[in-house]
Amino acid sequence: MIRFNYHQPGTPPATLTVPPKHSGKASTIRLIQYDGESVFEGLFENFEALMEKFDPEKVNWINIGGIGDLDLLQNFGERFKIHPLALEDVLNTTQRPKVELFPDHFFIISEMLYFEENGRLVFEQVSIFVGDGFVLTIQEEEGQDGFEHVRQRLRAGRGFVRKRGPDYLAYALLDGIVDEFFPVLEMIGDGIEELEELLLEKPTTSALRQLYESKRLLLQVRRAAWPQREVLNALIRDDTGRIHQETQVFLRDCYDHITQTIDIVESYRDLTAGLMELYLSSLGVRTNDIMRVLTVVSTIFIPLTFLAGVYGMNFSTKSPFNMPELHWEFGYIFFWVVSALIAGVTFYIVKKKRWL
């Protein structure tokens, strides 16, 4: 089902409330600070220790894992002049992906996809604030993200990320989120192919249940991918100067990737709709086969039933018009020979006309 969070009716705007499932959970604070010559990475226990290391002359990527610590989020909001409505959107973990422009920073909401070890597909909200000298990312859950490859590039100094500003780092993070769509869609596609073979061979209610599950997953992926394209398009068309032209070129490439993702999702949705028709057709064909066999069996036994009924009436043999065969020495054998002959001829006619 579609998940959503909401405040009680009448709650004032910008009311900050931690969702129940995240309440009481600690948040982790990680800083990666870099420029063209050096990079520093560290974990911090509290907001004050982090701010002592913060250097506005370098790019500071602050990642908060988990949204259970409300005081921590409010401290970041005061330090980086984050609007209370933006913090409210951070805590409302069912937000639609979007981008908003504030005087001191960009605010981006995106949605990350990944499979857990038990095979369950997880949709996790990621909030990104991009300002002068900093990128603040707030992940809904701690310990699972698609940003490790970005960290590795920062440590090794590969690519352009160490040579560019916060806008390029934001692009790299969004690109990592978009790239996570492809392995998810690959697994869904493999499942759809297996379903297609199963529905051709044996259309069962279990296969139908799996088909509906695939359709539901594709709907959720579509709800995450479509708004993501709008986010990238807005960043590409930014005219405030916060997104440099060099970065906009890379954002266009990311836009192409999310468009490709949407095309794959739509193709899979069409395929699942076709599989539904295939299920109904296969079920109809299977029913027709069963009915054809039963009809042939009935056709063969109808004349035999007639004969058995006639000779089972047991009329008196005193009248010359009653059954003389009842007193034949080989009458019983004669009955079975005639019955077998009728059944064989009927079966031959059915096979010759290819009704069976």
Domains and CATH numbers, the chain: 1-161 (3.30.460.20), 296-352 (1.20.58)
CA within 13 Å, CB half, 349: 10
Task: Identify the three-state secondary structure at position 134.
Answer: strand
Question: Above pLDDT 70, what percent of the chain?
Answer: 90
Report the run of H or E that residue 269 belongs to, with start and end.
Answer: helix 245-311
Whether the Cβ atoms of residue 29 and residue 61 lie closer than 8 Å to each other: no
For residue 49, pLDDT over 60 is answered with yes
Report the run of H or E that residue 298 belongs to, with start and end.
Answer: helix 245-311
Q: Give me the phi and psi of 28, to 5 degrees please.
A: -100, 145
The pair of three-digit structure tokens given for residue 16, joined into one six-digit string: 């900050």
Strand locations in the chain (E): 28-34, 39-44, 59-65, 98-101, 105-115, 121-131, 134-139
The pair of three-digit structure tokens given for residue 202, joined into one six-digit string: 């044996």
In this predicted model, what pLDDT tens digit does every residue of 53-104 receive, in sequence order? 999 889 999 999 888 888 899 999 999 999 888 998 898 888 889 999 888 8
In this predicted model, what pLDDT tens digit does every residue of 240-257 receive, in sequence order? 888 888 899 999 999 999
The rounded distance, in Å, linking the Cα atoms of 167 and 252 is 14
Q: How confident is the model at residue 205 (pLDDT cuts 50, 70, 90)?
A: confident
Whether the Cβ atoms of residue 184 and residue 221 lie closer than 8 Å to each other: yes
DSSP at 97? P
pLDDT value, residue 169: 93
By CB atoms closer than 10 A (0-12, 13-18, 19+), residue 118 is exposed
Higher per-residue pLDDT: 356 or 302:
302
In this predicted model, what pLDDT tens digit does every residue of 110-152 receive, in sequence order? 998 887 777 788 888 999 999 989 999 999 887 667 788 889 8
Beta bridge partners of 64: 29, 138
The rounded distance, in Å, linking the Cα atoms of 59 and 135 is 8
Q: Where are the alpha helices (DSSP H) in 142-244?
A: 148-156, 166-179, 181-201, 205-236
The pair of three-digit structure tokens given for residue 107, joined into one six-digit string: 């605010």
Pairing of strands 39-44, 134-139: unpaired
In this predicted model, what pLDDT tens digit does every residue of 10-43 receive, in sequence order? 567 767 777 777 777 888 899 999 988 889 999 9
